Amino acid sequence: MQEQDLIKILVVDDRQDNLLSIESILERESYTIVKASSGRAALKILLKEFDFSLILMDVQMPDMNGFETAALIYQREKLKDIPIIFITAHSHEEEAIFKGYKVGAVDFIYKPVNPELLRVKVGLFVELYRKTQSLIAQEQKLLLANASLQREIEEKEASELKVRELNRQLLQNNIHLKAVNEELDRFAYIASHDLQEPLRKIRVFSDMILQKKSGEVEVDRYVQKITNATIRMQQLVSDLLRFSRHSIQGGDFSLCDLNDLVKEALTELEIKIQQTKARIKIDTLPSLQVIPTLMRQVFYNLISNALKFRKKGVAPEVHIYAEVVSTPDHHYVRDSDHGIYYKIFVTDNGIGFESQYVEDIFVVFKRLHSYHEIEGTGIGLSICKKIMEQHNGFITATSELDNGATFIIGIPEKQVLPLNITMSS
């Protein structure tokens, strides 16, 4: 199909001879000529077809003249860009010409029609139409290209964002894996060393009992040592299970009075408090959103440590109190979205420790003293640290050797939802 075949021209005239004359003049250009014998006929055609390049319209027509027809044509949005050339016999009526331009005419051709002038003028508007259509096509291509480019940019940005998120997750997983490996290393150590040590004692003293031929006093002493070693192994296994359990269990946060949780922890330690003649002072503590069973474990471990690491011949003194902190200490708190924090202090008058070991005491299985000096497995404080991390808080300590210790736990007044309550190590 030739390009001219795409050019449609609507010719409107009430005289059939004029229609045929214009058609014959434009015949050699291979335009598609559509004829209408009245304004109403032209409107009917334009209701179905609107892809005309040009309209040639006689001004003087019965019933509805060219100006009235043009006004109705340009009321339709799809037709308002079709140029109209009026054909008129009134070459000197300025009022008619003004009226024609006012309704949207682009040009006039006067009767009798000059065939060459008609072809030239039609040719100019046809060429303008072609260029306009070409520009529209180019614009559509550019819009499609821009849309495609925008999609590519968005997809690339989404891919880069996904890669960054995957890298962040990978980094977190690596950090988590490193921590797990460190715990596994320490677990391997405790399994190969501390757990085997009671077993060796049990075996040695069992052999001595079998070989011993003297009095029962010696046998009783060996049996007591076996019993002590068994108790220590039981404590080690129990603490290992407890630490492992905190790695996979969580709980629901609820608003709890910390005074009640401390009292419950003291009830569990009642015999030890009586034996050591400890004095416990508790100031008024706040009510906070916590996991009750886990927070009770924190208080139990901290008070138990204060009783355990007491000075010889000196009754333990423990003081528990709280302070509100409107600006969290960012050395410990990375996420400031939790707002107001409370610091809860547990101070004692015990043997203390050197400040350089403040990080070590919260590492699982890490002990500053031999269990021969002070009972324990080195797991309690690491459990406290894990529980405080679960509460979007922290735990730290200050101390001087032979001058007591102060353990500080920080916890937000309100937990930000949704809460991640899975206790992963």
Q: What tokens appear for 404 in the block?
A: 């007591």
Q: Is the predicted pLDDT of residue 207 greater than 80, yes or no?
A: no
pLDDT of res. 421: 41
pLDDT of res. 1: 40
pLDDT of res. 346: 95
State the average pLDDT over residues 15-31.
85
Beta-bridge mates of residue 399: 405
Comparing 304 with 419, the larger pLDDT belongs to 304
Q: Is the predicted pLDDT of residue 419 greater than 50, yes or no?
A: no
Q: Show the domains of the chain with their CATH numbers.
A: 3-136 (3.40.50.2300), 195-248 (no CATH), 250-425 (3.30.565.10)
Q: Which of 170, 171, 186, 194 is nearest to 244 (CA)?
A: 186
Helix (H) / strand (E) element for 324: namely: strand 317-325
In angstroms, rounded to a whole number, what is the distance separating the alpha carbons of residues 242 and 379?
9
Residues 329-353 pLDDT 10s: 645 554 555 578 899 999 999 888 8
State the average pLDDT over residues 16-39.
86
State the average pLDDT over residues 379-394.
83
Q: Is the predicted pLDDT of residue 202 greater than 80, yes or no?
A: no
State the average pLDDT over residues 220-242.
65
pLDDT of res. 367: 45
Q: Is the predicted pLDDT of residue 265 greater than 90, yes or no?
A: no
In angstroms, rounded to a whole number, what is the distance separating the alpha carbons of residues 236 and 364?
12
pLDDT of res. 348: 93
Residues 366-383 pLDDT 10s: 444 443 343 444 577 887
- Over the chain, what is the mean pLDDT? 78
pLDDT of res. 415: 80
Helix (H) / strand (E) element for 201: namely: helix 196-211
Comparing 294 with 165, the larger pLDDT belongs to 165
State the average pLDDT over residues 17-21.
87
Using pLDDT thresholds of 50, 70 and 90, give the confidence band for residue 70: confident
Using pLDDT thresholds of 50, 70 and 90, give the confidence band for residue 7: confident
Q: Is the predicted pLDDT of residue 259 greater than 90, yes or no?
A: yes
HEC assignment per residue over 126-156: HHHHHHHHHHHHHHHHHHHHHHHHHHHHHHH
State the average pLDDT over residues 261-274.
87
- Out of 136-140, 291-295, 334-338, 353-357, least confident range: 334-338
Helix (H) / strand (E) element for 295: namely: helix 292-308
